[in-house]
Amino acid sequence: MQRISRREFVKRTAVTGAAFTSFPALLAACGESTGANKVSKLVLAAVQGNEDGPLKKVVGNYKSQTGIEVQIVEFPYDSLFSKLVTTFQANDSSYDLCMMDDPWMPKFGTMGALQPLDSSFGFTRDSDIPTVVYDVGTWPPPHGPVPPTEQSKAQHLYGITIVGNVEMFMYRSDKSSAPANWDAVLANAKQFNAANFYGYVIRGKATNPVSSDSLPILWSFGGNIFDDTWKVQLDSADSITAVDFLTRKLKQYAEPGAANFDAAERSQAMATGKAYQSTVWPGEITGIVEDPTVSQVKGKVAYIPIPQGPSGKGLGMMGNWLLGIPKGSHNGSAAADFIKWMLKTENMRNYVAQGGVPIRKSILNDASLAAANPYFKALAASFDAVPNWRPRTDQWGAVETSYGTAMNAAVAGQLTPQAAMQQAASQIRATMKGAGYPS
Amino acid sequence: MSRLVAELPAPTGTKPAGTGRRRRSRQERLAYTILLPALGTVFVIVTIPFVLAIWQSITADDGTLVGFRNYTRALSNPLFYDALRATGLYALIVLPTEILLGLGFALLVHRAVKRAGLRATLYVLAVLPLVVPPVAVGVVARLIYAPGYGVLNYVLQSVGITHSEIQWLSDPLLAMGSVASVDIWQWTPFVYLVLFAGLQTVPKESVEAAQVDGATWWTQFRYIELYYLRPLFLLILFFRMADVLRVFDHVFILTGGGPGTATQLLSLYIYRIEFRFFDGGQAAALAVLVLVAISILYSLVTRALPLERA
Amino acid sequence: MRGRRAAIGVRLILIVAGLGVAAFLYAFPLYWLIATSLKSKAELYQSITLFPRHPTLEPYFSVLVDRGFWVLLKNSVIVCAATVLVTLAVGLVITYPITRLSVPPRLRVGVLNWALSLRFLPPVAVVVPYFAIVRTLQIYNQPIALIGIYSLFNLPFAIWMLKGFLAEIPLELEEAALVDGANRWTSFRRVLLPLAAPGLMAAATIVFTFAWSEFLFALILTATPASQTFPVGVQGLVTQFEIIWNDMAASGVIAMSVPLVLMVVARKYLVAGLTFGVIREK
């Protein structure tokens, strides 16, 4: 018997089902016309929020310059991922462009869901853009461990960053100077902690939030999730020390209810002058902490790269949003033209004026923009220091869920740092083994 | 009290109308003519995904048959049992509360409120919580319970009942209670609406007769109204149970399943297996297990409380 | 005697107090929703105010116009109205024969059990297969896909509700009409439907609310605002780093007010549905 794949089976059964029901006649008249060569509209699936706000404001210019409308369809963060995966699995042509969070790249790369930008549309590396930005959009990854199934694939560029997010650190510069390392962070947290003023804010909500918040600390302490051969390192001494530092030492001076704090609560606490320091993403800076209509601390907060840990390194975390072109799109080259347009310096300047987060070093280091965007210098420095990315595996969703659940239990005090990391490590080992990684 | 039951009008609808054999068979034929196309269509549309889900639960991603391996993987994951425990606790809190409260309000309004205008107003008020999108309900709940800016702590502190913040969402038990309270707020009205509608089928004559006989508030309910509401209780119980297994938004927004796995309900867990782990086989196995478990429960309950009246 | 009256008095006070607490618990979240929707972003980032200090309708404008959600709202109304009609029609087609015509009890119980079991399969397990079916039928990103799925999933509820009502209407009433020369269809329309009004209304209401709030299928089976529904847009107001509180609250109020307006417009039928209904003549 011929073996059929599950997707093929789903498709065939669906066809059979369709034949049974009396719908088809009613619905025959809806084939999309793809005939005309001149593309007049591109559909872009985007994430709703600070990440796509500036993009929405500049697509009007694109239309007036080229006559091509870019329709932006917005999705919530979590749903965009599910939506894109199901769309790609079906090789559907609804979207010509999609926004992707960088930890999704491995999944899409492994699926082969995107059109290669370098070989198909002639994208080359621009020296004004940090290398790591191109690397994060390349699959298989140019450095670090490569998943076993991907090692024989040829490297291609599949995504171009349009939101150059890197996780940074913020503190109240009106109260003290910049902390040089995490020990200074702890000392400041102790010194400034007071009634109704948190010495440190932990973004501790379960899964993704606490994972994002803790990884830079984990890395800066020399801990890691995987080593270069995909061996799980979460229960190593360095990893546990890092978790202990966050969930025990810093937590003494952190806000009550830390296990339930997300970014919304953190930036609110910071903006209302109730907190001294925390990690931070550019979206929180532009959206809340530096927004003059809501912030009571504008001008009193400084942004720096992630402080150094005992390892002597401070490692920020990338959270780039990329633009890619789905395999299913019939308008690949028109979509590629739009990405190229976005990358042009003058267009990126305009994009920055609308609140966009740039990736060009010349813009990040432009003195005339520094005053309006106080975090640009720190972002440029973070790129220079080469931030870490989350492990390049299509199992990342599972890994993050296991890690983020255990971390949350540690922040809540339900598990000791050691027990939490042992739990996470054993779950992640099982996941990776099941996915065919060396164990 | 058995007299009251005896006085009930014979259940009419379920009794064959004609006595002649020919007549019955003609009616039966008409029944099948109407029923079969509708049932057939529905059957086909629901069966395809159902078969697909079962197929998915016994195959690997590449379509190879793997027998019960997905099931053993699902059942050997300790997190599954955490989720099961959380879901059980959640159901034990919300189901009885919603059913008792909804029943209480339905009886009260049915008996005490006679003015049509007021009844309509109460009906509309009951609909309101049901039409707020679950995500908005979750966000309002967050504005009430959240650390830092939650209005509940604010009110409790300004009235002087408490002096420090209560951690509604990061203590395991309180978090479960908070999450459950949102369910109770949104879904008690559903129970009310269904039971209130059901009470309209209770014939006035038997109620009046019972009142002449001196039936109390309780006996009137126990021996007359309950009799007519029984199928609806079954409907509510299993509908709400099925819904508890798909609760998502307000839990996701309030706690994200935390602290730890304290509020990671089965729905959240299966969602993560499907869309975070992309382990379609295991997710399908879990879904089939859920289906089988409720079906068994359902057949046990209907055996104890038969659907058809004797 | 006096003791008994006092006991009744105490009970009354307890009941009134209980109702008062219940009313407060019911109303406060709704109040907080409305209050939040009237606050500006600036006010939300100050200390808590129980009443909006500078009420503004800006969030409503932002949701409906700036974000363009009025298109999604329109889609939602169309999808939900059609779902209610289809569900009730199919529900009647299935319940009429099993309650009004003589069929073996096993068939009746079988249909009811099967209908309820449709609800037991977690949707997250079937959404991807339905996505495949909908694409094969070429109705992806069209409202009809959602209408079909919602009708299907709400059918169990409609069948159960309608069954209860149809079964309680004495067969004699219908037979009287048949004897008077009406055919089955006329007697169904003239006699049965009016008597089943409370059941139809309750079923319609609940089916509407289920369809109105559905998110997962709406997300997966649509692609653009041409067919997306309101909940899909609303969901996005919880962004990765921020919850847009006031816009979210305004969306909640808007989602409430559409059914509210519909019910006020149809209040004549609402009142009729609550007061008429099953009559018994013995």
Residue C6 token pair: 């006092």
**Selected residue with higher pLDDT from C120 and C138:** C138
Looking at the fold, whether A183 and A311 belong to one and the same domain comes out as yes
Q: What CATH number does the domain located at B78-276 have?
A: 1.10.3720.10
**Could you tell me the pLDDT band of residue A199, with boundaries at 50, 70 and 90?**
very high
Residue B280 token pair: 């379609």
Q: How far is B171 from chain C (nearest CA, A)?
A: 22
**Selected residue with higher pLDDT from A21 and B3:** A21
Mean pLDDT to the nearest integer, A175-188? 95
User: Looking only at Cα atoms, what is the longest distance across chain A?
Assistant: 74
Contact B223, B4 (CB under 8 A): yes
In the predicted structure, residue A27 carries a pLDDT above the cut 80: no
Q: What is the DSSP letter of B64?
A: -
Residue C105 is predicted with a pLDDT of 82
End-to-end CA, chain C: 40
Residue A34 is predicted with a pLDDT of 43
Domain borders along chain B are 78-276
Burial of C63: CB neighbours in 10 Å, binned 0-12, 13-18, 19+: buried
Asked whether residue A54 is assigned to any structural domain, the reply reads yes
Chain B residues with CB under 8 Å of a chain A CB are 41, 44-45, 48, 51-52, 55-56, 59-64, 73, 79, 146-149, 164-165, 167, 169-170, 172, 175, 255-262, 264, 272, 275-280
Mean pLDDT to the nearest integer, C30-41? 95
Out of B45, B255, B276, closest to residue A260 by CB: B255
Using a CB-CB cut-off of 8 Å, the residues of chain C touching A17 are: 133, 136
> Under 8 Å CB-to-CB from B85, ≥6 apart: which residues?
none
Alpha carbon of C221 to those of A27, A70, B267, C32: distances in Å? 15, 22, 20, 33
Distance CA A80, CA C217 (A): 14
CA atoms within 13 A on the CB side of A363: 22
Distance CA B36, CA B105 (A): 39
> Do B136 and C198 make contact, defined as CB atoms within 8 angstroms?
no
Out of C102, C119, C121, closest to residue B50 by CB: C121
Q: Which tens digits make up the pLDDT trace of A71-91?
A: 999 998 888 998 999 999 889
Cis previous bond, C231, omega within 30: no
Q: How far is C74 from chain A (nearest CA, A)?
A: 17
End-to-end CA, chain B: 18
How many separate domains does chain A show?
A: 2
Asked whether residue A29 is assigned to any structural domain, the reply reads no
Looking at the fold, whether A323 and A309 belong to one and the same domain comes out as no
Contact C97, B34 (CB under 8 A): yes
Asked whether residue A235 is assigned to any structural domain, the reply reads yes
Out of A47, A95, A294, closest to residue C45 by CB: A294
Partners of A172 in the β-ladder: A301
Using a CB-CB cut-off of 8 Å, the residues of chain B touching C164 are: 198, 201, 228, 231-232
Q: Touching C: which chains, 3+ CB pairs < 8 A?
A: A, B
> Do B132 and C161 make contact, defined as CB atoms within 8 angstroms?
no
Asked whether residue A14 is assigned to any structural domain, the reply reads no
Residue C128 is predicted with a pLDDT of 84
Q: How far is A76 from chain C (nearest CA, A)?
A: 4
Looking at the fold, whether A88 and A111 belong to one and the same domain comes out as yes
Contact A324, A111 (CB under 8 A): no
Tokens 């059609």 — which residue?
C82
Q: Touching B: which chains, 3+ CB pairs < 8 A?
A: A, C
Distance CA B98, CA C153 (A): 22
Q: What is the DSSP string of chain C?
A: -HHHHHHHHHHHHHHHHHHHHHHHHHHHHHHHHHHHHTS-HHHHTSS--SS-SS---HHHHIIIIIS-HHHHHHHHHHHHHHHHHHHHHHHHHHHHHHHHS---HHHHHHHHHHHHHTTTS-HHHHHHHHHHHHHHTT-TTSHHHHHHHHHHHHHHHHHHHHHHHHHHS-HHHHHHHHHTT--HHHHIIIIIHHHTHHHHHHHHHHHHHHHHH--HHHHHH--STTT--HHHHHHTTB-SS-B-HHHHHHHHHHHHHHHHHHHHHTHHHHHHHHH-------
As a three-state string, the secondary structure of A289-312 is HCCCCCCCCCCCEEEECCCECCCC
Q: Touching A: which chains, 3+ CB pairs < 8 A?
A: B, C
Asked whether residue A6 is assigned to any structural domain, the reply reads no
B270 conformational bin, left if phi > 0, alpha if psi -120 to 50, beta if neither? alpha
> Under 8 Å CB-to-CB from B111, ≥6 apart: which residues?
none
Contact B258, A409 (CB under 8 A): yes
Residue A332 token pair: 């690949």
> Do C205 and B193 make contact, defined as CB atoms within 8 angstroms?
yes
Looking at the fold, whether A249 and A115 belong to one and the same domain comes out as no
**Could you tell me the pLDDT band of residue C2, with boundaries at 50, 70 and 90?**
low
- The CA radius of gyration of chain A, in Å to the nearest whole number, is 23
Q: How far is A110 from chain C (nearest CA, A)?
A: 20
**Selected residue with higher pLDDT from B40 and A205:** A205
Comparing A25-29, A294-298, B215-219, the range with the smallest average pLDDT is A25-29
Q: How far is B172 from chain C (nearest CA, A)?
A: 23
Q: How far is C72 from chain A (nearest CA, A)?
A: 12
Cβ of A41: how many Cβ atoms within 10 Å? Answer: 12
Residue A8 is predicted with a pLDDT of 58
Alpha carbon of C275 to those of B40, B112, B227, C279: distances in Å? 36, 14, 21, 11
Give the domain range for residue A96.
Answer: 39-163+319-384
Looking at the fold, whether A311 and A326 belong to one and the same domain comes out as no
Looking at the fold, whether A276 and A135 belong to one and the same domain comes out as no
Q: In which element (H, E) is residue B82 found? A: helix B78-112
Q: Is A28 on the interface with C (CB under 8 A)?
A: yes
Q: How far is B52 from chain A (nearest CA, A)?
A: 7
> Do A77 and C235 make contact, defined as CB atoms within 8 angstroms?
no
Looking at the fold, whether A284 and A416 belong to one and the same domain comes out as yes
* Residue C244: closest CA among C120, C59, C77, C115: C59
Q: What is the DSSP letter of A415?
A: S
Say which CATH number the domain at A297 has: 3.40.190.10
Q: What is the pLDDT along chain B (310 residues), one digit of tens a residue?
A: 333 333 334 344 444 444 555 666 777 888 888 888 888 888 888 888 888 888 889 988 777 888 899 999 899 888 899 999 999 999 999 999 999 999 999 999 998 888 888 989 999 999 999 999 999 999 999 999 998 889 999 999 999 998 888 999 989 999 999 999 999 999 999 999 999 988 888 888 888 888 888 888 888 888 888 888 888 898 899 989 989 998 999 999 999 998 999 999 999 999 999 888 888 889 999 999 998 998 899 888 888 876 655 3
Comparing A169-173, A292-296, C245-249, C270-274, the range with the smallest average pLDDT is C270-274
Asked whether residue A59 is assigned to any structural domain, the reply reads yes
Residue C280 is predicted with a pLDDT of 46
Alpha-helical regions (H) of A221-304 = 237-244, 263-271, 282-284
CB pairs under 8 A between A and C: 125
Q: Which tens digits make up the pLDDT trace of C76-121?
A: 999 999 999 999 999 999 999 888 887 888 888 888 888 888 788 7
Q: In which element (H, E) is residue A279 found? A: strand A277-280
Distance CA A288, CA A285 (A): 6
Which residue of chain C is at minimal alpha-carbon distance from B283?
Answer: C125
Q: What is the DSSP letter of A4?
A: -
In the predicted structure, residue A17 carries a pLDDT above the cut 80: no
Using a CB-CB cut-off of 8 Å, the residues of chain B touching A8 are: 63
Q: Which tens digits make up the pLDDT trace of C180-223?
A: 888 888 888 888 888 888 888 889 999 999 999 999 999 999 99
User: Looking only at Cα atoms, what is the longest distance across chain C?
Assistant: 76
Which residue of chain B is at minimal alpha-carbon distance from A107?
Answer: B278
Q: Is A147 on the interface with C (CB under 8 A)?
A: no
Residue A213 is predicted with a pLDDT of 96
* Residue A213: closest CA among A272, A154, A280, A114: A280
Residue A11 is predicted with a pLDDT of 56
> Do C139 and A271 make contact, defined as CB atoms within 8 angstroms?
no
ipTM reported for the complex, 2 dp? 0.89
Asked whether residue A11 is assigned to any structural domain, the reply reads no
Q: Which tens digits make up the pLDDT trace of A386-434?
A: 999 999 999 999 999 999 999 999 999 999 999 999 999 999 999 999 8
Using a CB-CB cut-off of 8 Å, the residues of chain A touching B264 are: 206, 405
Cβ of B270: how many Cβ atoms within 10 Å? Answer: 27
Distance CA B184, CA C25 (A): 11
* Residue A357: closest CA among A339, A369, A340: A369
Q: Which tens digits make up the pLDDT trace of C225-258?
A: 999 999 999 998 988 888 899 999 999 999 999 9
Contact C151, C83 (CB under 8 A): yes
Q: In which element (H, E) is residue A99 found? A: strand A97-101
- Percent of all residues in chain C with a pLDDT value above 90, rounded to a whole number: 48
Q: At what angle do helices B280-304 and B266-275 cross, to 10 degrees?
A: 150
CB contact residues (below 8 A), chain A span 46-75, against chain C: 47-51, 71, 73-75
Q: How far is C149 from chain A (nearest CA, A)?
A: 13
In the predicted structure, residue A142 carries a pLDDT above the cut 60: yes
